[in-house]
Amino acid sequence: MGTSSTRESGVGVTEVELDVTNVAHGGVFVARHDGRVVFVGDTLPGERVRARITDDGHKSFWRAETVEVLEAAPERRPHVWSEASVDRAPSERAGGAEFGHIRLEHQRELKRQVLADALQRMAGVETDVTVEAVAPPAGATGVAEADGTCWRTRVRLQVADDGSIGPYASRTHRVVDVGSLPLATVRIGEVAPLTRRFPGAAHVDVIAPSADSARVLVVERDGKGRPKPARHGVIHETVAGRTFRLETGGFWQVHARAAETLYHAVQDMIDEGDFDPRASNLDLYGGVGLLAVAVGDRFGETVRITTVESDARATEHATENLAEWIGANALTDRVDRYLQHVTREAGAAERRSFEAATVVLDPPRAGAGRAVVDRLAAVGPRQLVYVACDPVALARDVGLLREHGYELRELRAFDLFPNTHHLEAVARLTR
């Protein structure tokens, strides 16, 4: 499979015809040109496209952008966001919905392939996991459920030099003018100031918390042009009948049903037979305490659990959100530094308590990494429940944990980011 032609465009940019054969991590797809791998966006396996080479600076691969679909795959559909469609010039295509041209059920199959392939290659683990659909928020239309729209409760809009706002074009820092935000909830759409200008601002965040009114946050720049830290007050989110406090600009899951989905998934994933409520249970990268609360709600108010989070304000909120659990504690610390302290300072009885523990960890997109995995394995908890938003980072860390004797026992994946390449996975590992 390869190109049928190669030509120079009027501005000296190479354009090629490509047969697309596979999906790759990161929202791009795989083709070959004269034996060289080409990663190309805005297409899908089974298509033939005309593409423009955008990066030929690597020996082993090139990058390209689809200019025209010559032979469409049966899974292609009209893009859910017209301003991201392949019909527009690549520099004018809104980023953030890179799978929006693919039928929803096939998106999930492609995500499954990426997750399964990463686990096989990087961890030596075979899995038959599926990517589970998640219902749109209450009030969304039937069309939203069918096409995967109306789920984002948080949108960041970038600011152009003239003060206009919009998303970046894919893999660029060019701001695209848009008139719609179809992945966002109806409440976001009602308040998003798409026609206004914000000269000098760093970015504009639009958020719609479940227990508060929607709002617009304008983040200004400091004297060096960097985003200026600001306190925007407190908002509230409701999950499983509980209300959580957090900073207005603080981290929270973006899908309207994501927090509740992960709350229940973590509860279900913990093996009750391996759970000791009196052990030194941990919630690492704990944010404002959502998953620690999930553990407490399942196993009772006397559960011992410590949430560890590097953001001091998030930890303050976690302390309040966990107030009813007498065995709960919230610490401000980096996870690697906390685990290092545990391995160095814990006495024999404390070490036994950690070895009997269940550890929930929800690291950022880059994953936990070797330093944290090595220190976590040295602590030696009985079971790990790993929440991951990046399949490759998860696969790498599962492989690292296997080096320490931990094996993947159970895995679920959720389509919490429809029309993008992202997914969320929850894994349980034990020695």
Which residues are identified as catalytic?
A: 389
Q: Please state, in angstroms and rounded to a whole number, the distance separating the CA atoms of residues 387 and 409.
A: 14
CB neighbours of residue 428 within 10 Å: 22
Phi, psi for residue 266 in degrees, rounded to 5? -65, -45
**128 belongs to an annotated ligand binding site:** no
Q: Please state, in angstroms and rounded to a whole number, the distance separating the CA atoms of residues 171 and 32.
A: 21
**253 belongs to an annotated ligand binding site:** yes
Q: Please state, in angstroms and rounded to a whole number, the distance separating the CA atoms of residues 198 and 201.
A: 6
List the structure tokens of 141.
């239309």
Q: Which of 87, 34, 95 is nearest to 62 (CA)?
A: 34
**132 belongs to an annotated ligand binding site:** no
CB neighbours of residue 304 within 10 Å: 21
Alpha helices in 270-390 (DSSP H): 290-299, 312-321, 335-345, 348-355, 369-379
Q: How far is CA 192 from the centre of its chain?
A: 22
- Is there a contact between 422 and 134 (Cβ–Cβ < 8 Å)? no
Task: Read off the DSSP letter of residue 180.
Answer: -
**336 belongs to an annotated ligand binding site:** no
Rounded to the nearest 5 percent, the helix, strand and coil shares of the chain are 25, 30, 45
- Is there a contact between 266 and 296 (Cβ–Cβ < 8 Å)? no
Integer CA distances (angstroms), 11 to 42, 50, 69, 381, in order: 22, 16, 21, 59
Integer CA distances (angstroms), 379 to 194, 249, 296, 341, in order: 50, 33, 22, 10
Over the range 44-77, which residues count as b (16 or more CB within 10 Å of their CB) and which as e? bbebbbbbbbbeeeeeeebbbbbbebeeebebbe
Q: Please state, in angstroms and rounded to a whole number, the distance separating the CA atoms of residues 30 and 18.
A: 9
As annotated, the binding site includes 253, 285, 309, 362
As annotated, the binding site for S-adenosyl-L-methionine includes 253, 285, 309, 362
